[in-house]
Amino acid sequence: MRVFRVFVILVAIALPTAAVVGSAEQRVGRLLERSAPVGDKTLAAERYRLDASQSKFIAHAMAGGLLWFKGHDHLVAVKEFSGEAQIDPDQLNPASLEITARSSSMTETSSVFTDQQKQIINKELHDIVLQPDQYPDIIFRSTQVQGQKLPSGEYNLKISGDLTLHGTTRPITIPTKVSLSGNDLRAVGEFSIDRSDFKVKATSAFHGLVRVRDHIKFNFDIVGHRE
């Protein structure tokens, strides 16, 4: 019984001490959390605002139309888009890309068409194919960035993400070469989609002026400025 009472006394003495030590450790841990950079990698990533006025974004639609449009490819430019790229100059991750393009800004630019022909193409492109009143935005959001930094200082990347077009979202991968110079970022590359995957029409056989094949290639030369 005496041994038991001694044990109880020792436990009673030890408990407050353990509580104090545990409390001190918790306080030190919280202090370290506050003093360490939050999201170390995120802070290292630099943000670049995309500049549509200094960029080119073109859709190449192989010809499949009728009448005097037959035999000519369509070169449809995305005139208005905005977005942001993030990249760490010293490592690939974290890295991300988000672009929102206005479907109403897409317009025929091929020099093989007259101004009058372009007006007809653009009307059908908007009224029948893209339907910007119903689907105003084309959105790409990256989910993963892979690749390597080249000896030249450029980055050879594969940017995977979700593309939303005509109300349908599909995963795509965009091979891209990125270079950084001063406060500017430049991204150059190309990718392809199948129009049918996004339920995009090519106008009806009745109209037939802007009919294109299913496979559409996009190429881009996009400039961004560091914020």
Q: Tell me, yes or no, whether 73 and 149 share the same domain.
A: yes
What pLDDT does 158 receive? 97
**pLDDT tens, residue by residue, 168-183:** 999 999 999 999 999 9
Q: Tell me, yes or no, whether 27 and 110 share the same domain.
A: no
Evaluate if residue 191 carries a pLDDT over 70. yes
d(CA 73, CA 54): 24
**pLDDT tens, residue by residue, 154-169:** 999 999 999 999 999 9
Q: Tell me, yes or no, whether 31 and 74 share the same domain.
A: no
Q: Tell me, yes or no, whether 104 and 148 share the same domain.
A: yes
Evaluate if residue 27 carries a pLDDT over 60. no
Say how many C-beta atoms besides its own lie within 10 A of residue 218's C-beta: 18
Q: Tell me, yes or no, whether 183 and 93 share the same domain.
A: yes
> Considering only 32-46, 135-149, 193-207, 209-223, which range has the smallest mean pLDDT?
32-46
Q: Tell me, yes or no, whether 149 and 207 share the same domain.
A: yes
Instruction: Tell me the mean pLDDT in the region 86-97.
Output: 87
What pLDDT does 67 receive? 42
Output the CA–CA distances (angstroms, integers) from residue 186 to 24, 74, 153, 160, in the order listed.
Answer: 50, 25, 12, 18
Q: Tell me, yes or no, whether 52 and 24 share the same domain.
A: no
> Considering only 58-62, 65-69, 143-147, which range has the smallest mean pLDDT?
65-69
Q: Tell me, yes or no, whether 131 and 166 share the same domain.
A: yes
d(CA 205, CA 126): 17
How high is the mean pLDDT of the chain? 79
What's the CATH number where 163 sits?
Answer: 2.40.128.110
- The pair phi, psi for residue 70, each rounded to 5°, is -65, 135
Instruction: Identify which has the larger pLDDT, 99 or 211.
Output: 99
d(CA 122, CA 105): 10
Instruction: Tell me the mean pLDDT in the region 199-226.
Output: 77
Q: Tell me, yes or no, whether 45 and 111 share the same domain.
A: yes
With CA atoms as reference, report the closest residue to 197 among 172, 175, 176: 172
Provide the percentage of residues in the chain whose pLDDT is more than 90: 50
Q: Tell me, yes or no, whether 79 and 182 share the same domain.
A: yes
d(CA 163, CA 42): 24
Q: Identify the domain containing residue 5 by its residue range.
A: 1-36
Q: Tell me, yes or no, whether 181 and 203 share the same domain.
A: yes
Instruction: Identify which has the larger pLDDT, 184 or 33.
Output: 184
119: which 2 tokens? Answer: 């007006």
Evaluate if residue 80 carries a pLDDT over 60. yes
Report which residue type is found at 119: Q
Number of domains the chain contains: 2
Q: Tell me, yes or no, whether 60 and 162 share the same domain.
A: yes
